[in-house]
């Protein structure tokens, strides 16, 4: 979110942004081809302050009536781009992880549409590959193994402004209170291990045609609601502040299975996990226009996991299963999350934004099924990534 003060030489309404990498690259080409038509498009009277970017915006403001905003970003962590050394610390604290573990390649798409002056819909989709490179596994003779947890994250919801104040202010800044309700669905592809033999309870089982074991059914669904209040922040010129609080619930599943033909052996390795959580969260945000074309946004949110219900089938797990298939979920009570972004308007219709995200406990309360048998051993490790977004006003 970016609030450009009215002293800017160009009045900059809400932006239109699109991903510049991955599957959405062709979309950017279409937009650039249509650039000569942009001056012909009339912008509506701003419902939110001038220059506001709604992507990732936690404020009570909504997009203008009948307006449409599409934003996108690339997300990255690797050996060169290691946000606050979280990747290095993750590897240092886990003997099981080696190589490129902790690397992240992701793409994020976000859409906002204003139905009325007070009601807006939003949708986000994030696709990411979180690298996992396991060290030697003494219990198996490995033939092949997946290299990452590939996750598709979707969220859809609405934001309704039920109160406004300061509407007559000449600087176009006003206070607002809103209710936001959203539903999320996240799913990770199976993580497969292909082996030629496995040792359990001192017995070695060899497979003539190899066997594939999978950590499967990695998915969760959740909903949450929050109350939001935003007001012009008097301490800093050209700034706004936001506070919010809310409640949510989630249900996550995971399991282990195999393609072994023998029913007896196959059943030995199969198990299912279910985790239900309820949580409260509260946060605050500062949005500050440092200069006419430069804006800074800082946010903090604490997610408190109030109650967790975990079941597994069979319970207890069968003796002799490899350790990486029997990890229970970690008892994580909360997650401190921080995010920040710096946006610069290259022109009245083009902006660039650099952002960073930090989680004290991986994706606890955000991506519940990551606390699964495969990744539970490091689900309580801090993690973060950076993002780069290109925005085009439309």
Structural domain contains residue 149: yes
What mean pLDDT value characterizes the chain? 78
Please state the pTM of the whole predicted model: 0.80
Backbone φ, ψ for residue 4 (5° rounding): -90, 125
Domain-embedded: residue 5: no
The pLDDT value recorded for residue 365 is 87
For 186-202, how does the pLDDT look when each residue is reduced to its tens digit (9 = 90+)? 999 998 888 888 777 67
Over 70: is that where the pLDDT of 21 sits?
no
Bridge partners (DSSP) listed for residue 177: 163, 229
Residue 12: predicted pLDDT: 31
Q: What is the pLDDT of residue 374?
A: 65
Q: What φ, ψ does residue 150 adopt, rounded to 5°?
A: -100, 115
Task: Select from 350, 283, 286, 239 the least CA-distant residue to 3.
Answer: 239
4, part of any domain: no
Q: Does residue 7 sit within a domain?
A: no
Task: Provide the pLDDT for residue 172.
Answer: 63
- Across 3-7, 248-252, 260-264, 290-294, least confident range: 3-7
Which carries the bigger pLDDT value, residue 300 or residue 308? 300
Confidence band of 143 (pLDDT split at 50, 70, 90): confident
What CATH number corresponds to the domain at position 381? Answer: 2.40.160.40
Q: Is residue 117 part of a domain?
A: yes
364 part of a folded domain: yes
- The count of structural domains within the chain is 1
Residue 10 within any structural domain of the chain: no
pLDDT at 373: 67
Q: Which element (helix H / strand E) includes 61?
A: none
In a domain, 2, yes or no: no
Q: Which helix (H) or strand (E) holds 86?
A: helix 86-92
Is the per-residue pLDDT at 86 higher than 70? Answer: no
Q: Is the peptide bond before 254 cis (omega within 30 degrees of 0)?
A: no
Measuring CA to CA, which residue among 379, 370, 366 is closest to residue 281? 366
Domain that includes residue 301, residue range: 16-392
């Amino acid at each position: 979110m970016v609030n450009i003060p009215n002293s800017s030489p160009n009045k900059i309404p809400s932006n239109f942004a699109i991903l510049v990498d991955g599957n959405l690259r062709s979309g950017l080409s279409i937009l650039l081809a249509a650039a000569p038509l942009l001056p012909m498009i009339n912008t509506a009277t701003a419902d939110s302050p001038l220059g506001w970017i709604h992507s990732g915006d936690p404020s009570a403001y909504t997009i203008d009536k009948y307006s449409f905003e599409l934003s996108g970003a690339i997300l990255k962590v690797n050996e060169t781009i290691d946000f606050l050394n979280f990747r290095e610390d993750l590897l240092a604290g886990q003997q099981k992880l080696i190589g490129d573990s902790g690397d992240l390649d992701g793409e994020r798409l976000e859409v906002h549409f204003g139905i009325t002056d007070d009601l807006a819909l939003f949708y986000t989709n994030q696709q990411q590959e979180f690298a996992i490179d396991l060290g030697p596994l003494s219990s198996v003779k490995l033939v092949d193994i997946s290299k990452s947890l590939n996750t598709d994250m979707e969220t859809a919801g609405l934001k309704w402004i039920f109160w406004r104040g300061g509407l007559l202010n000449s600087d176009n800044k006003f206070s607002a209170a809103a209710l936001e309700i959203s539903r999320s669905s996240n799913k990770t592809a199976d993580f497969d291990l292909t082996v030629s033999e496995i040792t359990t309870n001192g017995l070695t089982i060899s497979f003539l045609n190899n066997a594939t074991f999978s950590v499967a059914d990695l998915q969760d669904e959740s909903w949450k609601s929050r109350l939001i209040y935003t007001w012009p922040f008097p301490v800093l010129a050209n700034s706004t502040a936001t506070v919010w609080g809310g409640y949510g619930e989630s249900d996550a599943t995971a399991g282990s299975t195999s393609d072994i033909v023998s029913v007896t052996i196959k059943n030995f390795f199969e198990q299912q996990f279910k985790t239900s959580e309820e949580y409260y969260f509260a946060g605050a945000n500062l949005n500050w226009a440092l200069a006419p074309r430069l804006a800074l946004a800082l946010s903090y949110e604490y997610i408190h996991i109030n109650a967790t219900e975990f079941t597994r089938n069979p319970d207890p797990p069968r003796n002799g299963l490899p350790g990486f298939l029997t990890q229970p979920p970690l008892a994580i009570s909360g997650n401190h999350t921080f995010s920040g972004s710096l946006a610069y308007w290259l022109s009245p219709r083009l902006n660039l934004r650099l952002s960073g995200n930090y989680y004290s406990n991986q994706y606890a309360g955000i991506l519940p099924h990551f606390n699964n048998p495969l990744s539970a051993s490091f689900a309580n490790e801090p993690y973060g990534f950076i993002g780069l977004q290109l925005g085009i006003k439309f």
